[in-house]
Structure 1
Amino acid sequence: MKNLPWHTKIVLALLAFLPLYFAVAALGTKIGVWGWQTGLVALTFGGGVILLGIIAVAALVSLILGVLAKPRRNVVLAAAIIGLLIPGAVFVMFTAARGTAADNPIHDVATDTSDPPAFSAETLAARAEAEANPLSDYQTPLGELELYKGVAPELAIKSHAQIITDRYANLAPLPLAGASRADAVAAVAAAMGNMGFNNIRTDAATGTVEGVAETFWFGFKDDVVARIGENEIDFRSVSRVGRSDLGANAERIAELRQRVAGQIGQR
């Protein structure tokens, strides 16, 4: 490091600072130092983009200076190229995330769109305490819901039920096919535990199982409920914050359904 030119040292220092910056933005959100809007929107996608731009400019300058220097040093050129490639890769990731958000415009997904499984009073109280998004009416067009004001006209006329049917056509209730309600309740609770859910609660009388899924970095919480009926199990997964879930709730339901199916002998 001592023998490297000043511009290379700057690039390497910025590259070393980059993961630390994103980690602080995420973990600060998780432990409650700031809200998710600050951690995700302002720091990650706002400040993060600015930081990536600074690194890219510094790396470009370093590359030009490295090319002009006599003799040329491979380590200097390599550091500059890496300084360009890493911001470029992260920019691609950010762009992909925006595209995924556009493809998954909602954060409330269920296998029964006409009568989605309901959450218990305990879960509703937890959501209220966390100032979570209100639960959506599945039949109301998005444009009539406060959270979705300003969405594209072609999306505003669609309800949650229509979007789920269009975008998550593979999601379906899980047939019991002979499994008892008690066995199904136990299977769902075990599957939630294996998936790392917290606050798992079962109600044998109503045939419901609830749990909370939490992301590792930002600590975003999604509430999940399974309703065991006479012939099938329906699932619902709802994020507490944000508008788009990046497809996480549908993926979670699909995994939970698959795990439960394996335990009760279904596929």
Structure 2
Amino acid sequence: MRIVTLLLALAALGCAAAIALAGPGTQLGWWTWGEGLSLIRKVSAPVELGPVGVPPILAAAVLAGVTGLATLFMSSRGIGLFALVAAAAAAAAMQVPLKMRAAFEANPFIHDVTTDFDNPPPIIAGADEERINPPEYVGDKMVPNSDKTVRQAQAEAFPDLKPKLVNASLDETAELVRIILRDMNMEQLDETLTDDGWLIEAAYTSRWFGFVDDFVVRLTPEGPRTRVDVRSKSRVGGSDLGANAARVRAFFEKLDAAAS
């Protein structure tokens, strides 16, 4: 019983470690980002066992927990406690793919959002950086497994992403934007002042996988006020799980608070 419990505990810990290390391993160059995501899927996707499908990490967590309790009271307190800890670790790690799947199902399969479909802020500074998704806006491209284009999918899913008018001058708004970008842990890449206004470019790097998203803010004077347009695009990946839209919303919330 103790050996079985120990093996099941190690299996549960192994599944938890696979999820926990998927992102850091990508950043360390142990595997590609695609392989890192595949690692998560391998331990969390259901495996058919007769008429039902059970994720390996769920099976390992349940079996480690059950045998751990039995071992705790019947034979070995140490191994039993170890198995219960391993089961708890697997259960905690299992929340990651569950949340990812929920986000995938709740958001359109896009990775580029903008407040201006007709003239989206251009990605210039980040255009030549390592990337798979082109810097150009492809709003007329069809979304995979959908009858909608990218812009139609965004408009339906995120109708609140629109240009914003700020009651501040062009330069005052530009300074607010710089402060907000730093506050949101973005790296400012470049800024350009033209006759039309400011174009401020930044990049956000996710902590877990190290995914990089371009974030561009365009400021245009409209009388005493300033129009703010934003674009956020992932450099890799097909679906951003709603991350770019959430980032634009967070930016506008901070801008509203700073400009009020």
What TM-score, normalized to structure 1? 0.77
Q: Residue 248 of structure 1 is aligned with which of 243, 246, 252?
A: 243
Q: Residue 45 of structure 1 is aligned with which of 41, 44, 58?
A: 41
AA matched with 1:140: K
Offset at residue 160 of structure 1 (A): 1.7
Q: Residue 184 of structure 2 is aligned with which of 182, 195, 201?
A: 195
Query: How far apart, in 1, do the equivalents of 2:5 and 2:230 lie?
Result: 53
**1:174-196 Cα distance to aligned partner (Å, 9 max, x none):** 2122x111111111111011111
Offset at residue 119 of structure 1 (A): 1.6
Offset at residue 64 of structure 1 (A): 5.9
Query: How far apart, in 2, do the equivalents of 1:207 and 1:79 lie?
Result: 58
How is 1:175-254 mapped onto 2 (pairs within 5 angstroms)?
A: 175-177=165-167, 179-205=168-194, 206-231=197-222, 232-254=227-249
AA matched with 1:113: F
Query: Is residue 14 of structure 2 the alignment partner of residue 25 of structure 1?
Result: no
Query: Is residue 157 of structure 2 the alignment partner of residue 167 of structure 1?
Result: yes
Tell me what 1:147 maps to. none
Q: Which runs of 5+ in 1 are unaligned?
A: 143-150
SS state of the match for residue 121, structure 2? coil
Change (3 A) 1:213 1:68: closer
Tell me what 2:103 maps to. 100
SS state of the match for residue 126, structure 2? helix
Query: How many residues align structurally?
Result: 245
Tell me what 1:6 maps to. 3
Change (3 A) 1:61 1:99: closer
What is the root-mean-square deviation of aligned Cα atoms in Å?
3.3
What TM-score, normalized to structure 2? 0.79
Query: How far apart, in 2, do the equivalents of 1:82 and 1:11 lie?
Result: 12
AA matched with 2:201: E
Query: How far apart, in 2, do the equivalents of 1:13 and 1:181 lie?
Result: 59
Q: Judge conservation of contact 2:71–2:80 (CA < 8 Å) in 1.
A: no
**Percent of residue pairs identical:** 25
Q: Which runs of 5+ in 2 are unaligned?
A: 48-54
Q: Judge conservation of contact 2:69–2:84 (CA < 8 Å) in 1.
A: no
Change (3 A) 1:80 1:263: same
